[in-house]
Amino acid sequence: MKAIGFKTSLPISSQESFIEFETPTPNLSGRDLLVKIQAVSVNPVDTKIRQNTAKDTVLENPKIIGWDAVGIVEAVGEEVSLFKVGDEVFYAGDITRAGSNAEYQLVDERIVGKKPTSLSIEASAAMPLTALTAWETLFDRMRLSSEKDKGKTLLIIGGAGGVGSIAIQLAKKLLGLTVIATASRPETIAWCKKMGADVVVNHKDLVNEVRQAGFHFVDFIYDAVDVNGYWDAVVELIKPQGHINSITGSGTPILINKLKTKSVTFSWEFMYTRSSFQTEDMIEQYHILNRVSALLEEGTLISTHQNTLTGLSAETFKKAHAQLESGTTIGKLVVKY
Among 54, 72, 190, 254, binds a copy of itself (CB under 8 A): 254
Residues 149-188 that bind a copy of itself (CB under 8 A): none
Question: 73 near 85, Cβ under 8 Å?
Answer: yes
Among 255, 298, 310, 311, binds a copy of itself (CB under 8 A): 255
Closest CA to 286 of 18, 39, 16, 94: 94
For residue 160, the SS3 value is coil
Is there binding between residue 209 and a copy of itself (CB under 8 A)?
Answer: no
Select 123 or 167, whichever has its Cβ closest to a copy of itself.
167
d(CA 191, CA 77): 42
The C-alpha torsion from 255 through 256 and 261 to 267, rounded to 10°, is 150
Is there binding between residue 30 and a copy of itself (CB under 8 A)?
Answer: no
For residue 25, the SS3 value is coil
Is there binding between residue 96 and a copy of itself (CB under 8 A)?
Answer: no
Select 209 or 269, whichever has its Cβ closest to a copy of itself.
269
Is there binding between residue 143 and a copy of itself (CB under 8 A)?
Answer: yes
Is there binding between residue 269 and a copy of itself (CB under 8 A)?
Answer: yes
Among 259, 288, 302, 334, binds a copy of itself (CB under 8 A): 259
Residues 6+ apart with CB under 8 A from 161: 224, 225, 329
Query: Taking the complex as a whole, how short is the minimal distance between the CB of residue 243 and a copy of itself, in angstroms?
Result: 8
For residue 257, the SS3 value is helix
Query: Taking the complex as a whole, how short is the minimal distance between the CB of residue 136 and a copy of itself, in angstroms?
Result: 7
Query: Taking the complex as a whole, how short is the minimal distance between the CB of residue 51 and a copy of itself, in angstroms?
Result: 18
Among 64, 206, 264, 292, binds a copy of itself (CB under 8 A): 264
Select 103 or 108, whichever has its Cβ closest to a copy of itself.
108
Query: Taking the complex as a whole, how short is the minimal distance between the CB of residue 147 and a copy of itself, in angstroms?
Result: 13
Select 47 or 267, whichever has its Cβ closest to a copy of itself.
267
Residue 305, H or E segment: strand 305-310
Which CA distances in Å does 65 have to 38, 97, 245?
A: 15, 9, 26
Question: 124 near 116, Cβ under 8 Å?
Answer: yes
Among 21, 72, 198, 268, binds a copy of itself (CB under 8 A): 268
Query: Taking the complex as a whole, how short is the minimal distance between the CB of residue 167 and a copy of itself, in angstroms?
Result: 16
Stretch that binds a copy of itself, among 35-43, 53-61, 75-83, 270-278 (CB under 8 A): 270-278
Number of residues that bind a copy of itself (CB under 8 A): 32
Closest CA to 129 of 3, 247, 17, 223: 247
Among 256, 287, 310, 328, binds a copy of itself (CB under 8 A): 256
Stretch that binds a copy of itself, among 52-60, 112-120, 255-263, 322-330 (CB under 8 A): 255-263
Count CB neighbours of 53 within 10 A: 14
CB environment 62-71: b (16+ within 10 A), e (fewer):
bbbbbbbbbb
Which CA distances in Å does 12 have to 81, 128, 195?
A: 41, 25, 31
Closest CA to 309 of 320, 318, 322, 324: 320
Stretch that binds a copy of itself, among 2-10, 162-170, 202-210, 275-283 (CB under 8 A): 275-283
Where do contacts with a copy of itself occur on this chain (CB under 8 A)? Answer: 136, 140-141, 143, 240-241, 249-250, 253-257, 259-270, 272-274, 276-277, 279, 281
